[in-house]
Amino acid sequence: MPLPHELSDDIIPDSTAVVGDIESFIAYIEYGHAWQDWCGRVQQCVRWIAQDFGPVSDDIVQDLLQKP
């Protein structure tokens, strides 16, 4: 794996090509933050349920963590 200073310009994509439409990029970032927040809430709820009722099935956790 090359070090960052060894990468040539043709390997590093132009940021405008990656972002394209800035509004869709902002929406993508907001979705990512919302998704991380949801995962954190699911994990916290699983911990609370486990404290009161015992371990939660991995299948249930995976169902809750499926991306919409």
Residue 11 lies in a domain: no
Residue 44 lies in a domain: yes
Q: Which domain holds residue 48?
A: 22-68
Residue 32 lies in a domain: yes
Residue 6 lies in a domain: no
The pTM (predicted TM-score) of the whole model is 0.44
Residue 49 lies in a domain: yes
Residue 12 lies in a domain: no
The CA distance from 56 to 49, in Å, is 7
pLDDT attached to residue 20: 57
pLDDT in tens, 2-43: 455 554 555 444 454 454 577 777 777 788 778 888 888 888
pLDDT attached to residue 67: 59
- Name residues whose C-beta falls within 8 Å of residue 67's C-beta, 6 or more positions apart in sequence: 35
Residue 53 lies in a domain: yes
Buried b (16+ CB within 10 A) or exposed e, 36-45: eeeeeeeeee
Q: What is the 3-state secondary structure (H, E, C) of the chain?
A: CCCHHHCCCCCCCCHHHHHCCHHHHHHHHHHHHHHHHHHHHHHHHHHHHHHHHCCCCHHHHHHHCCCC
